[in-house]
Structure 1
Amino acid sequence: MADINLEVEERSKGGRHTRNQLARRGQIPGVVYGREIGSMSLAVDAGEIKKIIKNFGTSKLIDLRIKGDDKNTHRVMIRDLQHDPLRNEITHVDFQKVSMADKIKTTAKIKLVGKPDLPGGVTVQHQLWTVDIECLPAAIPESITVDISSLKEGEAVHVADLDLPEGVKVTTDPGAVVALAAYTRPAEPETVSKEAEEAAENKEAVHQEEA
C-alpha cells in the first residue's frame, strides 16, 4: 500500500457552472487516467490535496479510492496541477494510474548533509534542488542524499557524482551542478547616475534658497 490515501468522487464533466458548484463544497475538479481505466472525471477535496502536496510533494504514490466503490483502489501519482494565477490556489489536478511493474518518470529531491570545513567567506551554494529520475514506482526515493562534509573550496558536486539508490536512473544532465563551495559575493552598491546626482543637488539648492 502507498503511504497516502485519498477518497474522491466521480463527477460529470462540466464547465464554469460545475467548477462553481464544486468550489461551494470545498472541492476542485480533477481527472484520473490510465490504460486500464481510461479517463474519469473527479471531484477532489481541495484541503486534502493541498495537505498531501505540502507534506509529501507530488512524487509520492497515492491510493485513490472512488467514493461508493469500496472494492477498487487505484495506485496513482499526481501528474499535473493547475493554479489560479492571482490567488495561487489549485484549480485542477491530474492523476495517472501507474503499474508497479512498469518504470515511470518523475522527480526526486536533493538533500545535502554534512558540514564541510571551509575558510571564512566560503559557503556551500545549493544550486539544484531536484533531479529527473526513472525507476519502478516502488523504488522512488524519498530524496537523494549528498554528503558535502568533504567538499573543499572551489569544488562542486555534479549530477554525475550522485550516489543513487538501486534501480534508480537519473535523466538530468550529468554535468549539472548540485552544490558548489565558493565565496559569497557581496551585494554591489547601487550606483547613482550623474543626472540623478545633479537633480538632487538642484533640489537641495532650491530648498536652501526658500529657507
Structure 2
Amino acid sequence: IFLCLDLILWFVRTLELFAAFEKLGPKLIMIFDTMKDFLFFVCFLLIFLFGYSISSWSLMTTDNQVSWNYNSDGSLFNATVSGAGSGLWTWQLLRDVINFGVWKIFGQVDSIDGTDAYSVVTFILTILFVAVANVLLLSVLIALFNITIQNVQMQSHRIWRYQRFLLVSEYNNKPPLPPPFNTIYYLYSIICYIIKKIKHYNQKHRDGIL
C-alpha cells in the first residue's frame, strides 16, 4: 500500500518539471489553486452529504431494525429494536451510509422501492439533495474555478518566471549524485565544513595570540 502511494506521489512530483515551460507552468498553479477551492467546496458538501445519507439510511432500514407492536384497537403498544440495539454498528454500516449518498452527487440515483411513509420521505429527501448538490453546489464550484483561473491567467507570465527561478535554484543546490550515492556527497560536504571550521578557529586563535 505504501509503495503504491509513494508511486502516486512520485508521478505527481514529476509535474514540477513543467514549471520551466511558459505555457504549462501557470497551468500547474491553476490546478493547485482550484484544488484549494475544491477543498472548501468539499467541506460544505460533506454537511449536506452526511445529513442526507444518515437520515435517509435510517428511514430505509427502520422496518428491518424496529418492530412496532400495536394493540387490538390499533393504538401503539410499544416498539422494540432488533437485538436490543446491540450489534447494529459496524464499519460496513458507515461505508454503506456514505456510499448511499455520495453517488447521488454525480447523478446516479437508484429507484427507491416501497410505498410506506419512510420510503416517501426518503424519496423527497433524495430529490432535494440531488437538486442542491448537482445544481446549486456544483454551479458555485464552477464559478469559483472560473474566478481562480482568470486571476492566474492575468499574471501568468510573472508566475512562470518565478516558478522557473525556484526550479533552477532548487536543482542548483542539489547534490550532483543521485540517491543513494548522494550520501557520499553529503559526507564529503560535512567533512569539508568541519575542516573549514577548524581552520577558521585556528586562524582566529593565532590572531588572538598575536
Point out the structure with the larger strand share.
Answer: 1
Could you say whether these structures have the same fold, taking a TM-score greater than 0.5 normalized by the shorter chain as the test? no
The answer to which structure has the higher helix fraction is 2
- Normalising by structure 2, what TM-score? 0.25
Larger radius of gyration: 2
